Structure 1
Amino acid sequence: MRLTNADRTATPSSAARITEPTATADGQPKAASARPSHWRPDIEGLRAVAVGAVIAAHIGFFYSEGGFIGVDVFFVISGFLITSLLLREIDRTGRVSIAGFYARRAVRLLPAAAVVLLATLIASWIWLPRTRLGDIATDAATAALNVVNVRLAMEGTEYLNADVEPSPLQHFWSLAVEEQFYLAWPLMLLAIALVARRIWGGRFARRGHLHRRRASAIALVLVLIAAGSLLLSVTQTGPDPVWSYFGIHTRAWELAAGALVAVAAARLGRVPRPLAAMASWAGLALIVASVFVIDERTPFPGYAAVLPVAGTALVIAAGCAPHRFGATAVLGLAPLQYIGKISYGLYLWHWPLIMIGPRILGLESPRLRDYILLMGIAFLLTIATFYLVENPIRTRKPLVQVPSRALAMGGGLITAALAVSLLASVQPMPTTDNEDAVEITGDETTVWDLLGEASDVDTVPANLTPSLEDAALDAPSIAAVDGCQTSRDSVEVKSECWYGDPDGEKTIVLFGDSHAAQWFPALNQLAEASGWRLLAMSKANCSVADVTEIDNKLEREYTECPEWKEGVFDLLEEIRPDAVVTTAYDDKEVVADDPDQAWIDGWVDSVERLQDVADEVYYIADNPDFTVDPPSCLAENPDDATECVGQLDESVFKPDRREDLIEAVGETGATVIDPIPWVCDMEQGTCPVVVGNILMYRDSNHFSARFAAELAPQLASAIPLEAASPEDDGGEAAESE
């Protein structure tokens, strides 16, 4: 799901006014009641179209998958309106009041944002699993500081967090992008204005000469910004899609496009009326087409973002020239005007309602009709926020007329948001009176002694290891600490990741994705005890099977995966290991006419290829895959842990295909290992999540590293590595003498 943002500078109807000196930074007049001159209902209507498209995409409305382009529409609108106001200020005073600019934005944007941040934190505290509260609190803090897009980009590239649900505050990313742009843009305009006045503004300069030269200089700077940013968007979206989606470096050109329209507004006003009308309709058609042509698999922003950006720029540019019979005939309709007026608040509220609303209503599998109901609630909250918070504060003269007061208010709201975020982040898990569980020592008490009773555990033990707070971080060291798991966007073969016995004469290789890496704690114990070297080769979400995959994070064909695998096979050709252990997550999106058969055939081909370079090949079938996140479920049910126990027939992904795969790989001569009997109660048909004092899973489909280490005895029985015997070596040497 793309997370996009309706323009956070979305303003009431007066937002489209760009010529009144008393307008705010977002184009709003000091008085909300009077409609100003030079009214731009087309821009207000565009706001409604954009926020409607975003909401439609997020709730899964019919055929609106590309509605996330609404954020691009708002970027262009914001670039146009803000730059228009700054240019007017320069024309009037010869400079830009930086304090005044940020004061107006603080008055307009921060009150509603602070209300939503606070409400979302409280709702998360009450209704979401406590395991998520710390991350959401961090999201709130970074949102208040306008850097949440950076956090999301970093988290999005972190494979250990692949199983985490989207944050209810994730939609603040585009507010951060815009504010980052506006940290620099007013300063650049001020610098250009001062330099232009010094060079072309002498006493004897021709009338209008300074204005034309200054406008040309501003346009040149914008062209350079737009060209550089668009180039990065096109070239980086493929190899680095997460940073490209959330980053200012690939989005600045969209704001610059709107700003360029503002610079050219006077010239655009002379466009013939019929041409302007046709351009407005063409622009609106491009925006609407974007919603249906672009989808989740489209590399974005990249080239694809040109479509909605160009469409928005066309509509706004056409509106600079007076004309009739243009797209305003639709965009100017009263319902669209009202939605456009409240679009900022509507965007702020809609995503938290989508993320938290189903839990509030007790809906486990919400449908479209449920989301429509939630959007109705979001609409009511938006109206309340607009009339009780936004409008009263932005029209309050002591704040509007005295920048220092507005900045102080803004600083206070940011400080308050940070304080509440900090308070939420340090909240402990709910305490219970639960007793300690039997501690698994690996000697006196083992996992296997308690597995038969694990499905009937009622309470989460007080000595649970890892704790629910730390569960998500309990990943194997090769991924979490050592950096030996190759990331999605990399094809690097990390040939230096050796473990086990460094002096061992025999070599075993662990090869696969994160479901292979999770076996590292057990396999490393086995290698050390047997005197074997262990080479760990894993890559995020990359299956060893010879198939074409779609990566769920990159949202495109995972081309880096086969390239990395070829590098691994080349390395294996060189080292000729004695054994290879391989596995992968079964839930992959395979591109083929018959994906299931392609998956089986791809595994057979890869296993046979491994047999060409290794003496023994061990294939570990996939482990259970839960429909819920066990740590979160346990946090919600600390006194009824049985709620989190999985049913065996529901916890195995595509069981029929799995059996066919096991049979096909076994026919190659490779050794097949099925771990299900090690982690599930076959008699009861259940898969527990807590055994003794150990949390078995760190998310819905990965073992915790602590539990994986306890699988070493079972793995040793399935992979009998021959240990070196010093006595035998000595005896053989004596006989030879």
Structure 2
Amino acid sequence: MTLDHIVPLDGFRALAILIVFVAHCGLERLIPGGFGVTIFFFLSGYLITTLLRSEYAQTGRIDIKAFYIRRSVRILPSLYITLLLILGISQWLPAEHPAEFWGVFSQLVFLTNYPWITGYAQGVTGPPLWSLAVEEHFYLIFPVVFSAILAALSPRKAAGLCLGACIAVLGIRLATVATISDIGQVYYWTHTRIDSILFGCCLALWQNPVLDKGAWRPRLVHVLFALAILLGCFAIRDELFRQTVRYTLQGGALFVIFSYAIQDRGWVSIALSTRPLRVIALYSYTLYLIHVPVIAGVHALFPTLGLLGIIGISGALSMLYAAGMYALVEQPAANWRRRLRSSSRTAALAI
């Protein structure tokens, strides 16, 4: 298991996209689709911070430029190709709200979770890009903060600062819901959701299962308690709770669950590393981009199709598109990113 490929994370990545996909197919009242996004957030924070820690330990510095290049090559090609494809198809279909320039622009530059900036202009219908915007805002800021402040601190102090930031974001959420009428907007904004990523950073900085010898290993009772917290978050429907404390409780619970799963060598590890989940994880980014437009298209073409039919056809079409994108775009880009990371580390060690 390498830092670039921590096997249990494949399972979490696959479960996250499956939760989101099934919810969007019409089961959102039973399946907590938003929790799938929260899993994505936590995973991103953990993985990126783990890689940054490793790079700093090996080279004594963080190559910010190389980081931004790698993230751009990872994110932008699939995103722009998918948006262009959907935009092209939409020109041949009747649309109640056709795409507008500033709406598409906001999607291209990751502003969709702050739609007022571009005057609420209509973008390409379909891809749920608000969550991608939150992650990209994190990627833009966090490596600089890590390089300038966190890298020089002990892991405990660095994690403490991230935890303090999580508490500050909770305070921002509480203050925000007290001053706005549509508190559901808290779900989308970077400054009110970024703590879901920062909780993953906390695990990467303190008691990291793959970097820290003797890292804390949760016992089964801890995992059961964490699962009980998650179930409670799903069961409580009060909107004030859901848009404030829920994300904090979920972040703490995921800290325990991720730590346990990454260190497990039993049935949990086996379940998270099965081939179907690994394949879905491999395609997860493009699946996230394409599944909503595909579901909408299946609904339009087969209006009387049942739920299982929608899930089956939409899933097959989304996987087919994602497999093609992986072979033609993502895999070549990944190979290039690995070469870039290797060359940047070699150059830094030679200084």
Determine if the alignment matches structure 1 residue 150 to structure 2 residue 114: yes
Q: Is the 8 A contact 2:106 2:118 kept in 1?
A: no
Render the CA deviation track for 1:317-348: whole Å, top value 9, x for unaligned: 2245x444363243222222221222111111
Matched with 1:178 is: 135
1-structure distance, mates of 2:283, 2:213: 28
SS state of the match for residue 114, structure 2? helix
1:325 maps to 2:291: no
AA of the residue aligned to 1:150: Y
| Aligned positions of 1:693-704 closer than 5 A | none
Q: Do structure 1's residue 40 and structure 2's residue 6 form an aligned pair?
A: yes
Q: CA RMSD in A?
A: 3.3
The 2-side partners of 1:73 and 1:255 are apart by 9
> Which residue pairs with 1:30 in the alignment?
none
Distance across 2 between alignment mates of 1:332 and 1:284: 20
Q: Residues 165-213 of structure 1, C-alpha deviation per residue, up to 9 Å, x if partnerless?
A: x96245011111111112111111111168x4xxxxxxxxxxxxxxxx4
Residues 281 and 327 in structure 1, CA contact (< 8 A), matched pair in contact too: no
- Helix, strand or coil: the match of 1:270? coil
Q: 1:190 aligns with which of 136, 140, 147?
A: 147
Opposite residue 214 of structure 2, the aligned amino acid is: R
User: Is 1:270 the counterpart of 2:184 in the alignment?
Assistant: no
Aligned to 2:162: 222
Residue in structure 2 matching 1:293, options 202, 225, 235: 235
Amino acid at match of 1:57: A
Determine the C-alpha separation between the residues in 2 that align with 1:87 and 1:299. Answer: 34
1:335-362 per-residue CA deviation (whole Å, 9 max, x = no partner) reads 2222122211111110111234433x2x
Task: Map 1:271-670; keep pairs closer than 5 Å.
Answer: 275-280=218-223, 283=226, 289=231, 293=235, 300-319=242-261, 322-325=263-266, 327-359=268-300, 361=301, 363-364=302-303, 367-372=306-311, 373-396=313-336, 400=340
Counterpart in 2 of 1:69?
Answer: 35
2 CA distance for matches of 1:152 and 1:86?
Answer: 33
* Aligned position for 2:97: 132
- CA distance change for structure 1 residues 377 and 256 in 2, over 3 Å: closer, same or farther? same
Amino acid at match of 2:87: L
How far, CA to CA, are the matches of 1:169 and 1:139 in structure 2?
12
Change (3 A) 1:398 1:317: closer
Deviation at residue 128 of structure 1 after TM alignment: 3.5
Kept in 1: contact 2:99–2:124 (CA 8 A): no
1:280 and 1:42 map into 2 onto residues whose CA distance is 16
- The answer on whether the counterparts of 2:283 and 2:319 sit within 8 Å (CA) in structure 1 is no
| Conserved 8 A contact 1:42-1:315 | no
AA paired with 2:26?
G
Please name the residue that 1:704 is paired with: none
Amino acid at match of 1:328: S
Give the TM-score taking structure 2 as reference length: 0.83
TM-score computed with the length of structure 1 as normaliser: 0.42
* Residue 119 (str. 1) matches residue 85 (str. 2): yes
Deviation at 1:224, TM superposition (A): 2.4
SS in 2 for 1:127: coil
Task: For residue 95 of structure 1, give the secondary structure of its aligned residue in structure 2.
Answer: coil
The separation in 1 between residues aligned to 2:238 and 2:89, in whole angstroms, is: 29
Secondary structure of the structure 1 residue equivalent to 2:185: helix
Give me the whole-angstrom Cα distance separating, in 2, the residues matched to 1:120 and 1:286.
39
Unaligned runs of 5+ in 2: 345-351
Which of the two has greater helix per residue?
Answer: 2
Decide whether aligned partners of structure 1 residues 290 and 77 sit closer, same or farther in structure 2, where only a CA change above 3 A counts: farther
In 1: Cα distance, 2:205 partner to 2:99 partner: 45
Mean CA deviation greater in 252-261 or 143-152: 143-152
* Identity percentage of aligned residues: 26
Shift of 1:98: 0.8
- Candidates 4, 19, 33, aligned match of 1:53: 19
Any idea what the Cα deviations from partners look like across 1:491-526, whole Å, max 9, x if unmatched?
Answer: xxxxxxxxxxxxxxxxxxxxxxxxxxxxxxxxxxxx
Q: Is the 8 A contact 1:123 1:356 kept in 2?
A: no
The Cα shift of 1:312 comes to 2.2
Distance 1:371-1:168 versus aligned 2 partners, 3 A rule:
farther
- 1:358 and 1:98 map into 2 onto residues whose CA distance is 44
TM superposition shift of 1:102: 0.6
Deviations 1:692-722 (A, max 9, x none): xxxxxxxxxxxxxxxxxxxxxxxxxxxxxxx
Structure with the bigger RCO (C-alpha within 8 Å, sep 6+) is 2
Q: What's the offset of the Cα at 1:364?
A: 4.5
Deviation of 1:17 after TM superposition, in Å, equals: 3.9
1:80 and 1:262 in contact (8 A); partners too: yes
CA contact (8 A) 1:181 1:252 kept: yes
CA distance in 1, matches of 2:84, 2:294: 14
Mapped to 2, the partners of 1:177 and 1:107 lie a distance apart of 18
Q: Which residue of 1 aligns with 2:173?
A: 233
Give the deviation of 1:244 after TM superposition: 1.0
Measured in 1, the distance between the counterparts of 2:59 and 2:343 equals 17
* CA contact 2:287–2:319 (8 Å) conserved in 1: yes
Structure-2 change in CA distance of 1:169 and 1:60 (3 Å):
closer
Q: Quick one: which amino acid aligns to residue 317 of structure 1?
A: S
Matched position secondary structure for 1:148: coil
Task: Note the C-alpha offset of 1:277.
Answer: 4.8
Contact 2:70/2:337 (8 A) holds in 1: no
Q: Which runs of 5+ in 1 are unaligned?
A: 1-15, 19-26, 28-38, 197-212, 405-737
Q: CA deviation at 1:298?
A: 7.2
Aligned partners of 2:128 and 2:289 also within 8 Å: yes
2:349 paired residue number? none
CA deviations on 1:666-691 (whole Å, 9 max, x unpaired) are xxxxxxxxxxxxxxxxxxxxxxxxxx
Which residue is equivalent to 1:249? 191
SS in structure 2 opposite 1:327?
helix
Alpha carbons of structure 1 residues 290 and 61: separation in structure 2 relative to 1, 3 Å: farther
* Equivalent residue number for residue 44 of structure 2: 78
CA spacing shift, 1:272–1:144, aligned 2, 3 Å: closer
Shift of 1:95: 1.8
Change (3 A) 1:63 1:249: closer
